[in-house]
Structure 1
């Protein structure tokens, strides 16, 4: 094999190895950040993996919210109103929209005891939601009021 062809072969092999390493690192990063969503029925039936970071969603069951007297710890039950419900434990400040009967999304790990240990709680709202501060700004002026 002449030196020019050998040099070309080395460049091609180096480029292929670099491309392979790039693809492998990209897939590894994507796999680490992958959070699958599970509804309450799949969590109760055991389809959701334990000790793996996942997302779960449902409605906060009425009467299930229990806050610790001197801390940020709270536990509540997520349900789909079809008989599937599970306990969630969270330590932190809950979103303003969190309340019983509200749809929420939790992110964390499902323990082997069936209790979901959340490290993030997101409250869902419909497309008509408007923060109270903005709702006051959008109220129509009273008839006969001053127009500026």
Structure 2
């Protein structure tokens, strides 16, 4: 009987150790996951202000403004349905341009502006992040459906 209890204790300890290790791995994974959000999702209150996330869309033409300090820039990211003002302090990528795709990583402030700590520009004319491409496709489809309904 005693050997049976000892064997059961070892098995239970092994299962508990494996469960604890899985819990630590999943917690670390959840802490490092960064979600992609479009401006229309922010406008519909789907994104909370407390979490870090990636904002993706197109840089609105005529929206790029550089502050006097030379490092801080302000621009608007849009997905043709909604727009979000972005503030970024740092060097912009060489391919960053108005009218082109951008993914900014940061948090949404209480002032409604997205405070980015990293900005990624689209690296090629043919490349669009899959999430951005999907969001833009949905916007175009709904716009086409609305245009068809008006006829």
TM-score clears 0.5? yes
More helix by share: 2
Write out aligned runs for 1:73-92 (5 A): 73-82=72-81, 84-92=82-90
* SS class of match (2:124): coil
Instruction: Report the alpha carbon displacement of residue 13 of structure 1 after superposing the two structures with TM.
Output: 1.1
* SS class of match (2:123): coil
Instruction: Report the alpha carbon displacement of residue 66 of structure 1 after superposing the two structures with TM.
Output: 0.9
* SS class of match (2:61): coil
Aligned residues: 127
* SS class of match (2:56): strand
Normalising by structure 1, report the TM-score.
Answer: 0.80
Unpaired stretches in structure 1, ≥5 consecutive residues: 130-148
CA RMSD after TM alignment = 1.5
Instruction: Report the alpha carbon displacement of residue 63 of structure 1 after superposing the two structures with TM.
Output: 1.1
Q: Distance in 2 between matches of 1:128 and 1:66?
A: 26
Q: Match for residue 126 of structure 1?
A: 124
Instruction: Report the alpha carbon displacement of residue 128 of structure 1 after superposing the two structures with TM.
Output: 5.2
Higher CA-based Rg: 1
Q: Cα gap change, 1:17/1:64 in structure 2, threshold over 3 Å: closer, same or farther?
A: same
Contact 1:53–1:108, Cα closer than 8 Å, also in 2: yes
User: Which portions of structure 1, spanning 4 or more consecutive aligned residues, are displaced by more than 4 angstroms?
Assistant: none
Write out aligned runs for 1:66-145 (5 A): 66-82=65-81, 84-126=82-124
Instruction: Report the alpha carbon displacement of residue 127 of structure 1 after superposing the two structures with TM.
Output: 6.2
Unpaired stretches in structure 2, ≥5 consecutive residues: 128-151
Deviations 1:52-104 (A, max 9, x none): 1011101111111111122411110001123x111001111110100110100
Write out aligned runs for 1:9-24 (5 A): 9-24=8-23
Contact 1:67–1:73, Cα closer than 8 Å, also in 2: yes
Normalising by structure 2, report the TM-score.
Answer: 0.78
Q: Match for residue 144 of structure 1?
A: none
Contact 1:51–1:112, Cα closer than 8 Å, also in 2: no
Q: Match for residue 58 of structure 2?
A: 59
